[in-house]
Amino acid sequence: MSSTDYDAIVVGAGWAGMYSAYKLRNAGLTVLGIEKGSDVGGTWYWNRYPGARCDIPSVNYSFSFSEEIWGNWNWSERYAAQPEIERYAHFVADRLDIRSAFTFDAEVTGAVYDESNRCWRVPTSSSDGQHVYTSKYLILATGPYSKPVHPAIEGLSSFTGEMYLSSQWPREAVDYTDKRIGVIGTGSSGMQVVTQIGTHESFDELFAFQRTPNYALPAGNRPLSEDDMREVKRGYPEFWDKVRTSGSGTLCEVPVGPIKDLTDEELFELMDQLWKIGGPAILNGISDLVLDEESNRRVAAYLHADIRRRVKDPDLAEKLCAKTHFIGSRRHLNEDHYFELFNYDNVYLVDIAEDPIVRVVETGVELESGRLIELDMIVLATGFDSGTGALLAIDPVGRDGVALSEKWQDGHNSYLGVATQGFPNMFMTAAPGSPSIRANVLVSIEQQVDWLSEFVASIESAAGDEVEVAAPAEELWTKHVADTVNSTLIARDDTQYVGANVPGKPRVYLAYIGGVNVYRIICESVAEDRYPGFRVL
């Protein structure tokens, strides 16, 4: 192998990129991190829209590997908001001294595997010009939600007011005063934007353009005191042991079991108790929720009843009830006041399933009925090309000149979601085929990066030049990922998790839903057996 600029290039300075760079550097490798933004944070660097907040409990949405980090950081709320999470990312970066490994404001524009020299050539673009770096290993820590979807709505560019994409929110303060604001999209991001502006900002009128109603669970957010954090930290090691052996990587699961045989009264009593606990994982303990249609429908009926209690206008309440998909097939909102907002006389739901958007014009949004909703500001909270989007934007070219987009034209495949055959020495984090987007992504990332860095260290100590997935291992894993989700209800719905929100995207489920605990055991056994499924030369 010829000499390279670096042993490893890590793309992205989110959680996975920072931790990968840290672990590989500690393993004695020379590392260059490349990040498009001006600082660390990844998702939490870009998604600074009003109301952006984590829906996993803060004490659980944290790194566990370093006592120095968790011992010196205190969260201020049960669910931290974006500014605090971004501060945490900076804190982590400082403690790991990781910025020194990265070049910022530089975009990776491709990656090509040089077979004869067994290295990756990685072109970048920045204000300093174009550079091509070479490395033995390429780690794509590009994040599952980093390529936004720009909706195909006619006339968007003709709008003369302010327009913002939720995931590319400006760093400067936005003024909502006396403005007529339209939010398009009612997924987690759109509902958070509507809740924040509707509750905390002064505005003239607020319109939520809803194509598909979404489920929501009570957050029960509250401040965390120093005493709360002291208490958490006292039990942190045991806490993390439990987290690692949990299915979702979060520790607010209340084991309930199947609800199939409960009477309606028993079920409503149980749901009332779960509601009081709050949090996004209160339903995780219902073991037949995503396995049994009737159980799923009965829980949905409780959620609908909750909305009907909170929204005064019965017709409006009906429009807000999610009925077209199973609970669990989309990410539900973790909310405190979303539905009540529609009781105000200047907050409106625009049901665009009933009266679709035809076009955006200079002054606002025109609907099929001919109605023109005049606006001063449009917020597009229209989602992401999830899972594969950022990887395919780089579109690495592997062995025999085959691009990833070519290999994945009928759907992604990989071994363990960390590597794909034909792309030697290339690893991915939080990628399709791993638990990532259907789990506590931070717990999942920490486990994957620990595993990957040990694997790379073992290749280095064996003086290996090239590592590649073997085709049979990839086929088996891809089948296992599909079989696992196909045995549930959630693969049936058209969601971003199957790529349904991006025209032409192959319909393949984007995550391994067997649980972070099961995935960890599988990865550990692969390591113990000296990595069968990989070929090291």
- For ligand N01, the binding residues in 297-356 under the rule CB under 6 A are 331, 352
For residue 258, the SS3 value is coil
Specify the residue, 2 or 157, whose C-beta has the smaller distance to ligand N01.
157
Cβ(233)–Cβ(240) under 8 Å?
Answer: no
Q: What is the DSSP letter of 158?
A: G
Q: Is 185 in the site for ligand N01 (CB under 6 A)?
A: yes
Q: Which residue type, as a one-letter code, is found at position 446? A: E
- For ligand N01, the binding residues in 429-488 under the rule CB under 6 A are 437
For residues 388 and 144, what is the distance between their CA atoms, to the nearest angstrom?
7
Cβ(144)–Cβ(393) under 8 Å?
Answer: no
Q: Is 151 in the site for ligand N01 (CB under 6 A)?
A: yes
Specify the residue, 27 or 156, whose C-beta has the smaller distance to ligand N01.
156
Cβ(16)–Cβ(445) under 8 Å?
Answer: yes
**Contact window for ligand N01 (CB under 6 A) among 126-134, 178-186, 195-203, 254-262:** 178-186
SS (H, E, C) 172-219: CCCCCCCCEEEEECCCHHHHHHHHHHHHHCCCCEEEEEECCCCCEEEC
Specify the residue, 137 or 169, whose C-beta has the smaller distance to ligand N01.
169
Q: Is 218 in the site for ligand N01 (CB under 6 A)?
A: no
Q: Which of 50, 57, 187, 499 binds ligand N01 (CB under 6 A)?
A: 187
Q: What is the DSSP letter of 232?
A: H
Q: Which residue type, as a one-letter code, is found at position 299? A: V
Q: Which of 184, 243, 394, 490 binds ligand N01 (CB under 6 A)?
A: 184
Specify the residue, 48 or 121, whose C-beta has the smaller distance to ligand N01.
48
- For ligand N01, the binding residues in 249-308 under the rule CB under 6 A are none
Specify the residue, 216 or 418, whose C-beta has the smaller distance to ligand N01.
216
Q: Is 211 in the site for ligand N01 (CB under 6 A)?
A: yes
Q: Which of 501, 508, 513, 526 binds ligand N01 (CB under 6 A)?
A: 501
DSSP per residue, 406-449? HHTTT----BTTTB-TT-TTEEESS-TTSSGGGS-HHHHHHHHH
For residues 276 and 279, what is the distance between their CA atoms, to the nearest angstrom?
9
Q: How far is the CB of 384 from ligand N01 (least distance, A)?
A: 6
For residue 44, which of 87, 101, 107 has the smallest C-alpha distance?
Answer: 87
Specify the residue, 40 or 437, whose C-beta has the smaller distance to ligand N01.
437
Q: Is 196 in the site for ligand N01 (CB under 6 A)?
A: no
Q: How far is the CB of 387 from ligand N01 (least distance, A)?
A: 11
For residue 32, which of 95, 88, 106, 116 has the smallest C-alpha distance?
Answer: 106
For residue 502, the SS3 value is coil
Q: Is 216 in the site for ligand N01 (CB under 6 A)?
A: no
Specify the residue, 20 or 189, whose C-beta has the smaller distance to ligand N01.
189
Residue count, binding to ligand N01 (CB under 6 A)? 26
For residues 515 and 246, what is the distance between their CA atoms, to the nearest angstrom?
8
361 CB neighbour count, 10 Å cutoff: 16
Question: Which segments of 50-81 does DSSP mark as H helices, in order?
Answer: 67-71
Q: Which of 30, 76, 212, 245 binds ligand N01 (CB under 6 A)?
A: 212
Specify the residue, 31 or 442, whose C-beta has the smaller distance to ligand N01.
442
**Contact window for ligand N01 (CB under 6 A) among 28-36, 109-117, 183-191, 404-412:** 183-191
Q: Which two structure tokens, joined as six digits, stand for 295?
A: 């159980």
Q: How far is the CB of 388 from ligand N01 (least distance, A)?
A: 14
Query: Is 353 exposed, middle or buried, given 0-12, 13-18 or 19+ CB atoms closer than 10 A?
Result: exposed
Specify the residue, 212 or 484, whose C-beta has the smaller distance to ligand N01.
212
Q: How far is the CB of 330 from ligand N01 (least distance, A)?
A: 6
Cβ(81)–Cβ(200) under 8 Å?
Answer: no
Q: Which of 54, 92, 140, 350 binds ligand N01 (CB under 6 A)?
A: 54
Q: Which of 7, 35, 55, 446 binds ligand N01 (CB under 6 A)?
A: 55
For residue 429, which of 455, 398, 409 has the smallest C-alpha distance?
Answer: 455
For residues 286 and 264, what is the distance between their CA atoms, to the nearest angstrom?
15
Specify the residue, 353 or 537, whose C-beta has the smaller distance to ligand N01.
353
What does the per-residue mask of binding to ligand N01 show for 349-388, with x meaning CB under 6 A? ---x----x-----------------------xxxx----
Q: Which of 60, 186, 295, 478 binds ligand N01 (CB under 6 A)?
A: 186
* Radius of gyration in angstroms for the set of CA atoms belonging to the chain, rounded to a whole number: 23
Q: Which residues bind ligand N01 (CB under 6 A)?
A: 53-55, 145, 151, 153, 184-190, 192, 211-212, 331, 352, 357, 381-384, 437, 496, 501
